[in-house]
Homo-oligomer: A and B are copies of this chain.
Amino acid sequence: MRAGERKRELIYATAMELFRTKGFEDTTMRGIAERAGISLGSAYHYYASKAAIVFDYYSRLQAEHEAHVESLYDEAMEVEARLVAVTKLKLELARPDRKLLIEVATALVRPGDKLSAFSEENTDIRNRSIDVFARAIEAVPLTEEQRHAFASLIWVAHLGIFLYFVHDESHEQARTFALVEDAARLLTPLLFLATTTMAAPVAEAAFAAIAKAGLLPKS
């Protein structure tokens, strides 16, 4: 590892430590620099912005997810179970830094933001993330176009789940994990509907699940 890389790594580690203990807003670039023993200007040489550090984290999270997801698929799992497993894995990897996802989620959603989920800069990481979901549903006999469309939809849904996750103050985010299971149970049949024309009466179950999740605003 070259000296430059080592310093970048030091900044990253220092920033993450502070983010974890003090949160994103209360961690200043000056604080990071000071703790890392370098100047403010130097820190900005390695990271163009405070948010860029968070996106480095996000990129690493995605890489870690890809690395671990392979081992999940050894057994012959059903599609629904695969979707649940792959989503839970990502949540578990992210849990120690859940608060940071607030920054990721808001930036992802913000048009024009360089770090937006839909920006050019993030095409690569987004596509890798979508690919993971595409592989999770590879057992469903779809055209490549359909598979990509569904994987993209699942990716959007997983952004929504992240949003739910960062709001979720239940013990160990149990509600989010339950929501993942319910969502997979309800939505997986829809994947197969694209291959048959058979329909299922999912509405009542959907209603129950929504109520169970305590979904969103109470009056």
Contact = CB atoms under 8 A, between A and B. Distances in A.
A182 to B, nearest CB: 14
Contacts of A211: 149
A48 B29 CA distance: 25
Contact of A194 (B126, B167, B193, B203): B203
13 contacts: A102-B111, A109-B109, A127-B217, A130-B219, A152-B217, A153-B210, A153-B215, A156-B216, A190-B206, A193-B201, A193-B203, A198-B201, A199-B203
Interface of A: 102, 105-106, 109-112, 117-118, 126-127, 130, 146, 148-149, 152-153, 155-156, 163, 166-167, 190, 193-194, 197-204, 206-207, 210-211, 215-217, 219
Given A106-B106, A149-B215, 16 more contacts: A102-B111, A105-B109, A106-B110, A111-B166, A111-B167, A117-B217, A118-B217, A146-B207, A148-B219, A149-B210, A190-B203, A193-B201, A198-B201, A199-B199, A199-B201, A199-B203
